Amino acid sequence: MISERLEKQIRFIIEVDKLKEIFRQTSCVNSRRAENDAEHSWHLCLTTLVLAEYANSPALDVLKVLKMVILHDLVEIDAGDTFAYDAVGMAGQHEREAIAADRIFGMLPSDQAAEFRRLWDEFEDKATPEAKFAAAVDRFQPVLLNCSTEGSAWQRHGVTQDRVVKRNAPIAEGSETIWEAARQWIQGAVDAGHLAPGPRT
């Protein structure tokens, strides 16, 4: 007989396998097929490990960041992926995802459910150094994928440079160094003709 606690944990692990079936707008670099949420989460974890030294906060709790980036998209199992440049889809996104967080994390034993929900809320609030860095890598990774696939998602949706810069400027709150790198990659995409420059102001 396995314990009730372990049974809940196993059922949660099986449930979140569904993340592999949630596809994003960004494309994988080599095949150009749509990236799924589980691949995105793995890539964020690796990006965190590789780039943590560039966080604005020298005392960054990297394990906490890893927990945030592996957990924060689980809500998309219920709420679906919302494209970053879809203003209509963004309306009510947090509310949809909060309901999903209640259900999905609620499958776990109460202590883990409470911890995971706290981490999810912290990521959403983007107030701590860890949340700011987690949010930074979450925005930086799609920029790199778009720049490495000739702006595939940007071009498909008619996204322009001004919108990309506005969307990703908060990267600087987690890492000024990574934001400067992102700006250079974005400009490189414009120079290569993979991202439209947008209206002049």
Instruction: Give the start-to-end residue ranges of the domains of the chain.
Output: 4-191
Do 76 and 105 contact (CB within 8 A), yes or no?
no
State phi, psi for 158 to the nearest 5 degrees.
65, 35
Burial of 27 (0-12, 13-18, 19+ CB in 10 A): buried
What is the arithmetic mean of pLDDT over 50-57? 98
State phi, psi for 87 to the nearest 5 degrees.
-60, -40
Cβ-proximal residues to 117 (8 Å cutoff; 6+ apart), any chain: 101, 102, 105
Average pLDDT across the chain, whole number: 96
| pLDDT confidence of residue 200 | 65
Judge whether residue 201 has pLDDT over 60.
Answer: no
Judge whether residue 14 has pLDDT over 70.
Answer: yes
Residue 168: Cβ within 10 Å count: 21
The two tokens of residue 87 are 């203003």
What is the arithmetic mean of pLDDT over 103-131? 98
SS3 of residue 3 by DSSP: coil
Judge whether residue 1 has pLDDT over 60.
Answer: yes
Judge whether residue 189 has pLDDT over 90.
Answer: yes
SS3 of residue 12 by DSSP: helix
Superfamily of domain 4-191: Hypothetical protein af1432 (1.10.3210.10)
SS3 of residue 58 by DSSP: coil
Judge whether residue 27 has pLDDT over 80.
Answer: yes
In tens, the pLDDT along 80-108 reads 998 989 888 788 899 999 999 999 999 99
| pLDDT confidence of residue 128 | 98
What is the arithmetic mean of pLDDT over 40-61? 98
